Structure 1
Amino acid sequence: MTMAAAIESRTAAAAVPSSSRRIAQIEILSDLESAEAAWRRLETAEQLFTAYQRFDFLKCWQREVGLRDDAKPLIVIASDAERRPLLLLPLFVKQSHGVRVASFMGGKHATFNMALWDRSFATAVEHADLHGLLDELRKRSAADVLALTQQPLHWREVQNPLALLPHQSSVNDCPVLNIEPGAAPSSLISNSFRRRLRAKERKLSKLSGYRHHLATKDAEIDRLIEWFFRTKPLRMAQQGLPNVFAEPGVEAFIRRACLTRRVGEGRVIDMHALECDEEIIALYAGVADGCRFSMMFNSYTLSDHSRYSPGLILIRDIVDHYAARGYRALDLGVGADNYKHLFCKAAEPIFDSFIPLTSRGRFAAVGMSALARGKHLVKHNQALLRLAQGVRKSLR
Structure 2
Amino acid sequence: MQTQERDIAVTAVALATGERSMPVTAQPAMGGGFRIDVFDSMAALEAEWRALERDDLASLHQSYDWCSAWVETFRHPLAIVRGSLGDHTAFILPLEIIRERGVRRAEFIGTRHSNINTGLFSAEFLQGAAEGLTSAQTTAVAEALRGKADIVILRNVPLDWRGRRSPLASLPAVENQNHAFQLPFLGSFEASLKQVNAKRRRKKFKHQSRLLDAKGGYDYVNAAPDQQDGLLDLFFEQKATRFREAGLPDVFAHAPTQAALRRLLRHGNDGVDATLQMHALRLKGEHEGHIAAVAALSRKGDHVVCQFASIDEALVAEASPGELLFWLMIERLHREGVALFDFGIGDQNYKRSWCPMETTQHDLFLPISGIGHVAALAERSITRAKAAIKSNRQLYTFIQRLRARRGAGPAVADENDRN
**TM-score if structure 1 supplies the norm length?**
0.89
Residue pair 1:181, 1:326 contacting (<8 A) in 2 also: no
**Is 2:265 the partner of 1:253?**
no
Aligned to 2:136: 131
Residue pair 1:85, 1:118 contacting (<8 A) in 2 also: yes
1:263 shift after superposition: 5.2
Deviation digits for residues 143-180 of structure 1, max 9, x if unmatched? 11111111012233211110111212111211221223
> Paired residue for 1:116, among 120, 125, 128?
120
The correspondence of residues 15-54 of structure 1 with structure 2, limited to 5 A, is 16=28, 18-20=30-32, 23=34, 25-44=35-54, 46=55, 48-54=57-63
> Paired residue for 1:56, among 58, 61, 65?
65
Residue pair 1:26, 1:78 contacting (<8 A) in 2 also: yes
1:30 shift after superposition: 0.5
Residue pair 2:273, 2:301 contacting (<8 A) in 1 also: no
Residue pair 2:142, 2:366 contacting (<8 A) in 1 also: no
Q: In the alignment, residue 223 of structure 1 is paired with which amino acid?
A: G
Cα distance in 1, alignment partners of residues 218 and 326 from structure 2: 16
1:306 shift after superposition: 2.7
Deviation digits for residues 209-245 of structure 1, max 9, x if unmatched? 6221322x22121221232233321222122121211
The correspondence of residues 115-194 of structure 1 with structure 2, limited to 5 A, is 115-125=119-129, 126=131, 129=134, 131-141=136-146, 142-182=148-188, 184-189=191-196, 190-194=198-202
**Is 2:215 the partner of 1:204?**
no
Cα distance in 2, alignment partners of residues 138 and 115 from structure 1: 19
Relative to structure 1, is the Cα distance of residues 20 and 271 closer, same or farther in structure 2, using a 3 angstrom cutoff?
A: farther
Cα distance in 1, alignment partners of residues 77 and 355 from structure 2: 36
Q: In the alignment, residue 78 of structure 1 is paired with which amino acid?
A: G
Aligned to 1:78: 83
**TM-score if structure 2 supplies the norm length?**
0.84
Residue pair 1:74, 1:90 contacting (<8 A) in 2 also: yes
The correspondence of residues 270-285 of structure 1 with structure 2, limited to 5 A, is 270-277=277-284, 278=288, 279-285=290-296
**Is 2:395 the partner of 1:387?**
yes
Cα distance in 2, alignment partners of residues 136 and 227 from structure 1: 43
Gaps spanning 5+ residues in structure 1: where?
A: none
Moved more, 167-176 or 129-138: 129-138
Aligned residues: 380
Aligned to 2:413: none
Relative to structure 1, is the Cα distance of residues 140 and 349 closer, same or farther in structure 2, using a 3 angstrom cutoff?
A: closer
Tell me which stretches of 4 or more aligned residues in structure 1 moved more than 6 Å.
none
Match of 1:95, SS state, is: strand
Percent sequence identity is 27
Cα distance in 2, alignment partners of residues 85 and 330 from structure 1: 30
Cα distance in 1, alignment partners of residues 351 and 283 from structure 2: 25
Aligned to 1:226: 233
